Structure 1
């Protein structure tokens, strides 16, 4: 007789318990091919369960091919249902998100690029969302254009011309799931293994990884307080493209002057390569007028990448890629193969949000908030560290750079700072050529209030002093 333990205290239905245990025994070979099973009446009597429970469990196993029924003979284990079992790997705990760590109120995280999430315009967004969901055509709920909704591309082309000097037709825009997908599309569109990509150094490590994954060879160009040092562009290379963040270099923070922009364009024409412009943090400029895009100077040479992650929220996963005419069709195909299209209803909400002027008003409000937080952070730094530091790249964006005159940030020091509940990020993490920025750290402040900023700087100073005292 086939014995199957039944536990009525479990939330698992009895049918499922019977089915799973017979299935497992067939797979691991405990029940052999052609072995006859008890009749449904016999097994239900033995297990003290309804015959219907056994009937349904058997039916499921028959449907999946584990059992075969032979008229007049009974039910048998099917041939070929045995699967040799291998030892199961241990769970990879490092891939499990630890929400407790993320939400630990005692951790002050100076990560860059995070906006003030608590100031997201929820009421306006919810109102527009309700309107779009209730009024939009049923066709929008189907599959959509890979390049994005025409409503959003149309409003974006006007907005970007007005605010950034971007010269493009709506058909040149591809809506993406954030800047990361835009960069991935660029890499698939332009790169083959061993192609050369010229990049600022330092530059976001994630971007380096995207291009290296495609087999690109990265050629670093140093930066200074004005961004990429275009005088260092190599004449003996034939790069596929030059990647640049001219409006706010990450992480150092320089703004590329017109002379260097023109040098870049001359270089791209001479070497017949493209320029890929990541318009990083350009909306939040606190000193001087807004800086125009590089794309506006040569639309047929520049691929322009933008995102709403820092303006509004990373959770929206909404960005865009603006392409020269000759690359549009191929990029649309790549976007279709990537994910068919970016969520349509979210695009329509964002289009209405921009068209009705909510985006510009939100940016204006947030600039005031971020400027206050930046000023408070600078004051805390100067009060705490006096003349031991230089502050760089603070005119734009949601982070700044602290350069210490006599302090290097070793792995041990970073761990000591984190033990006191503060996370900071070395510039060295984002360099291609290592060893040039051991005394510089990135401090993001957009998502932190004044109390968190002050406490974070205080703890960081305590850890630094403790570390230095150990070495004396």
Structure 2
């Protein structure tokens, strides 16, 4: 007799429970081709369920080809239904993943690049969303143009000129699903297997991966306190482009001075290559105004990338590319093949959000909050470790760098630190040429309260006892 456990407490119908269990046993070979199943009357009696439950479960299995009926003989497992089992993501896997996240909720995570999600301007965004959803014409709910809504590109071009010194017409903007997609589009647009890219070192692993996946080889240019060291640009290279984060280098935090910017542009002109400017985190500059863009110095040479993930929320998946005019049409095609277009309704809400000054007010508010959190983190680090550390890279953005005089952040030490309930990130992880940054960690603070920062530094202090005995 075929035994199928039935759980009436589950939020799954009895029909689906019977269907799924028979289906799984057929696929994994427990029930083999040609094997006879009990009649609907027999199985309903055995499981103490209505005969209709078994009838509907069998009907579904018949319709999918798992079962065949033989006149006067009964119901049998069809041929060709066994599938060799491979490891796959299951409900149990998913629950385990959720459990891990739940466990991690007790960890104070100094991850970089996360804004204060609890301070997202919900009321303003909801008000504008309500207006858009109620007033926008039906055509907006259809497919849209790949480069993005003209309303957003128009207001964004003005905003970028005003705040970042970016010179562009609305037609030069491509709206993307975040900066990651923008970088991916650039790679598809410009790179072929074997091409070379000059790139800052260290730089986030994600960016390295995007370029490598396009077949490029990376030539690292070391970074110091002032960003990419342009004196080390190679004389004999013909790169496809140079990648830089000139207004706020990730992870070390430096800003490229004008002398180096001029050197970089002159080098790119001589090498006849593009400059890719990732304007990472630059809006949150705490001393003075944000540094003007590199793009403003040579709009036809520089491809400019920006995002709203740090300013507002990564959940919006909203970014943009500013392209030299001769690349626009080709990029439109690449974007279309990538995902057709970025969601139109969010674009329209964002356009209003910028036009009606919600964005600038939000940035001003958050700069004060982030500066308070940054200053408090610096204070707590100095109280905990005094002259045993050097703190730098904190003038802009949502993270800083802590350099320990006599500590090497090995994999084992990082695991010990996490076991004590705090997570920090090694700079060395982002290095292309390894070995220079073992004593440096990245500490993000944008999403943490002062209470969490204080407790996190306290846990870090307990995790590195040798700091006092070294």
Q: TM-score, normalised by structure 1?
A: 0.89
Give the Cα–Cα distance (whole angstroms) in 1 for the partners of residues 457 and 13 of structure 2: 56
Q: Distance in 1 between matches of 2:417 and 2:48?
A: 63
Compared CA separation, residues 276 and 96, structure 1 to 2 (3 A)? same
* 1:306-363 deviation digits (Å, cap 9, x = unpaired): 0111111112111111111222222222222222222211111111110100100111
Q: Secondary structure at the match of 2:465?
A: helix
1:227 deviates by: 0.9
Distance 1:255 1:48, change over 3 A: closer
For residues 188-237 of structure 1, give each alpha carbon's deviation from its aligned partner in whole angstroms, at most 9, with x where no partner exists: 21111221111111111221122122222110101112111111111211
1:115 alignment partner, SS class: coil
Structure 2 counterpart of 1:61: 61
8 Å CA contact retained: 1:31, 1:77: no
Trace 1:422-437 onto structure 2 (pairs within 5 A).
422-437=422-437
What CA distance in whole angstroms lies between the structure 2 residues aligned with 1:377 and 1:314?
Answer: 23
Q: Does the CA-based 8 Å contact 1:116-1:446 persist in structure 2?
A: yes
Residue matched to 2:209? 209
In 2, the alpha carbon distance for the partners of 1:25 and 1:419 equals 41
What CA distance in whole angstroms lies between the structure 2 residues aligned with 1:178 and 1:276?
16
Superposed displacement of residue 389, structure 1: 2.8
CA deviation string 1:260-314 (max 9, x = no partner): 1111111111111111000011111122232111111111111111011111111
On the 8 A contact 1:175/1:319 being kept in 2, the answer is yes
When residues 425 and 87 of structure 1 are mapped into structure 2, their CA distance, relative to the original with a 3 A threshold, is: closer
For 2:454, the equivalent position in structure 1 comes to 454
Does the 8 Å contact 1:66/1:78 carry over to 2?
yes
Distance in 2 (CA, whole Å) between partners of 1:45 and 1:93 is: 34
Q: Which residue of 1 aligns with 2:81?
A: 82
Distance 1:389 1:436 in 2: 16
Taking a change above 3 Å as real, the CA distance of residues 407 and 45 of structure 1, as seen in their structure-2 partners, is: closer
Distance 1:370 1:29, change over 3 A: closer
Q: Is the 8 A contact 1:67 1:75 kept in 2?
A: no
Gaps of 5+ in 2: none
Residue 99 of structure 1 aligns with which residue?
101
1:434-470 alpha-carbon deviations (Å, 9 max, x no partner): 111222222222222222223322332333234664x
Deviation track 1:56-112 (CA, whole Å, cap 9, x = no partner) reads 344323322234457x657654753432544756969598242213322xx222221
Q: Assess if the C-alpha contact under 8 Å between 2:66 and 2:81 holds in 1.
A: no
1:4 CA drift (Å): 5.5
Q: Distance in 2 between matches of 1:454 and 1:231?
A: 40
Q: 1:81 to 1:173 in 2, by over 3 A?
A: same
1:9 aligns to what? Answer: 8
3-state DSSP of counterpart to 1:442: strand
Tell me how large the CA RMSD over aligned residues is. Answer: 2.8
d(CA) in 1 for partners of 2:371, 2:450: 12
Q: Could you tell me which residue of structure 2 aligns to residue 275 of structure 1?
A: 275
Say which SS state the counterpart of residue 464 (structure 2) adopts.
helix
How many Å apart are 1:379 and its aligned residue?
Answer: 2.5
Report deviation, 1:10.
Answer: 5.8
Q: CA deviation at 1:161?
A: 0.8
Identify which range, 13-22 or 303-312, moves more after superposition: 13-22
Tell me the distance in 1 between the aligned counterparts of 2:236 and 2:109.
43
